[in-house]
Structure 1
Amino acid sequence: MLELDVLIYPDEVRVATPEDIREWELESASQLSIPITRLFVALYPYNPAAMSPNPDTAAEELPFVPGQIIKVVGDKDSDGFYHGESGGLSGYVPSNMVAEIPVDDEYLKYLLMQQGFLPVDHTGIPLSHSASIPDDVVVRRMVALFDYDPWESSPNIDSEDELGFRAGDIIYVFDDMDQDGFYYGDLHGRRGLVPSNFLEPLPWN
């Protein structure tokens, strides 16, 4: 059976030409706005019933715990809330209690969502108690994008000076990278060199 696309006007009906269809597709594509999906990690515990600044709409907000990964679509609203989903639930998320994980790779986003959590350390790093790190050093927080095993992947002979880690680990790095592209970092109290191309910055707030 032959199928034809037709255009219906108030005063006529005619068969659509290829040019008509192309023009319609371009117009439709320009009108479609595909929202960008972003990943956030919860920095603090949040119980809307007890903590929400909007008691009347607390039931529409998403509860979460530190380290929980939240998928957010769109920008925050005028009240400073995102709309997100995590663990099969969806609701509003206060923007001041989460931090964006700057990941552009869609497959990595999928893996992080499947994982569901990142290990979050809120105690910070006690630099004043470390003789090897000056008090005034710049400390940055980064998230590992991939697994890294120095024994298998390191380009350096002295790989025993490096840290191994897994995708999703939060690593605190000190100062700038060296000429070989490595940071000096801390992971759960272990310190060593970490390759910068395996990490992405993770904002503090």
Structure 2
Amino acid sequence: METRLELDVLIYSDEVRVVTPEELTEWELETASQVSIPTVRLFVALYPYNPAAMSPNYETAAEELPFVPGQIIKVHGDKDSDGFYHGESGGLSGYVPSNMVAEIPVDDEYLKHLLMQQGFLPVDHTGINLSDVASITDDVIVQRMVALFDYDPWENSPNVDSEVELGFHSGDIIYVLGEMDEDGFYYGDLHGRKGLVPSNYLQPLPWD
């Protein structure tokens, strides 16, 4: 029967020797102190952003993150020299223009987790209200609706920015967040995909 023995060693220019437990512990503590964990910051989108049509950087537009007003974006680190953060939202990641978003002033890690799970802040017609963030999770109205017809934004949408809308099929159950906007659209969630949905294609579906 073969027995294998694993040892940690230190390699010098003139010798190789086995590391003592004390040296290994000291090295691990020193390494851990040098590793900086980037602070997670939460931002909310103030305006709709379609990189393909709006990005100032044509060559890197594909690396940028599209979003809609009210969408919550998780950001690591600070903005770069071009004024972009690197963020993630809705399962996608990419660069985020700093002038299109605002930071949510919250430090509590559990509340950050709740907000990221929610993925959205209510938006009124005058912009984003960032006051009283701690109560946001209680204030958002979530409605369950069923699609009456198929909807393909590219074919059926009256809007030029149809890429921020959500396509769906008749019978799909969509969870609507917040109130209807002035154009007759809700902000909805379908199996983790989020976007604007036309209210006249939906019908309320009672929770019970």
Root mean square deviation of aligned Cα:
2.4
Give the conservation status (yes or no) of the 8 Å contact 1:146–1:168: no
Question: Counterpart of 1:115?
Answer: 118
CA distance in 1, matches of 2:43, 2:140: 12
SS of the aligned residue for 2:99 comes to: helix
Question: Which residue does the alignment assign to 2:14?
Answer: 11
Deviation at 1:141, TM superposition (A): 4.4
User: Which ranges in structure 1 are unaligned for 5 or more consecutive residues?
Assistant: 125-139, 148-164, 170-187, 189-205
Task: Select which of 90, 93, 108 maps to 1:90.
Answer: 93
Query: Any conservation in 2 of the 1:83–1:91 contact (CA below 8 Å)?
Result: yes
Distance 1:19 1:121, change over 3 A: same
| Correspondence for 1:196 | none
TM-score by length of 1: 0.60
Query: Do 2:42 and 2:104's aligned partners in 1 also have CA atoms closer than 8 Å?
Result: yes
Task: Check conservation: 1:39, 1:69, Cα contact below 8 A.
Answer: yes
Aligned residues: 138
Tell me, yes or no, if structure 1 residue 79 matches structure 2 residue 82.
yes
- Aligned residue number for residue 67 of structure 1: 70
Cα pair 1:41 1:66 within 8 Å, conserved? yes
Match for residue 27 of structure 1 among 25, 30, 33? 30
- Relative to the length of structure 2, the TM-score reads 0.59
Alpha-carbon deviations, 1:94-134, whole Å to 9, x = none? 0011011122121211111111100022426xxxxxxxxxx
CA contact (8 A) 1:145 1:167 kept: no
> Within the alignment, does 1:36 sit opposite 2:39 as a pair?
yes
The structure-2 alpha-carbon separation of the partners of 1:110 and 1:168, relative to structure 1 and needing over 3 Å to count, comes to: farther
Aligned to 1:137: none
User: Within the alignment, does 1:54 sit opposite 2:54 as a pair?
Assistant: no
Would the aligned equivalents of 1:144 and 1:168 in 2 still touch at CA under 8 Å? no
Look up the SS of the partner of 2:37 in the other structure. Answer: coil
Percent identity of equivalent pairs? 80
Gaps of 5+ in 2: 142-178, 180-208
Q: Hey, what's the Cα distance between the residues in 2 that align with 1:143 and 1:69?
A: 16
